[in-house]
Chain A
Amino acid sequence: EADIYQTPRYLVIGTGKKITLECSQTMGHDKMYWYQQDPGMELHLIHYSYGVNSTEKGDLSSESTVSRIRTEHFPLTLESARPSHTSQYLCASSEQKHIYNEQFFGPGTRLTVL
């Protein structure tokens, strides 16, 4: 079982609020990722990190920001939540091992912005 955690699991919040979605992993993985996924739709990469102090934007434009101050922690922040941010947010991590570099996913945070 993957040791990657996300909190909160569910969040309902009003428009304009600042929120931070937490993601932590205890596997010592250097690489961490945030995906956004609407119900029944594709995974979209919104942010990733190769290690401490490294962050990059993904393929899908996002108004969120991330930070990577510690290896195990990769929080995602929305400064001002809007209804268009309503979605499921999945955190993942991986370790490069030859050509086998499985991504382990957290349980996800389901965000609803009213």
Chain B
Amino acid sequence: LAKTTQPISMDSYEGQEVNITCSHNNIATNDYITWYQQFPSQGPRFIIQGYKTKVTNEVASLFIPADRKSSTLSLPRVSLSDTAVYYCLVGDLNYGGSQGNLIFGKGTKLSVKP
């Protein structure tokens, strides 16, 4: 599975847009990019997933350039409740016996201030 690199922490203020970038230089052709959110003492929660270009859902947008060596999670108008750790993962959805075998790094700790 492709290794990912994210900033350890980020600070923001309520109402701002937050962009978290993840590097995955050795991403493979079959790999998808997935982002999770984790609050303290809870399990991670799926946010968004994409393969290329742009994906948008009700909570976030995911921007993936043509070379797919990086991706950016965009959170519009964050609130205090968006304070959490955000994980970027890259993996092949259909890889054999370990399909769905995701490797979580340390993630990015986002702190939203009033």
Q: Do A and B associate with each other?
A: no
Q: Which residues of A contact B (CB under 8 A)?
A: none
Q: Which residues of B contact A (CB under 8 A)?
A: none
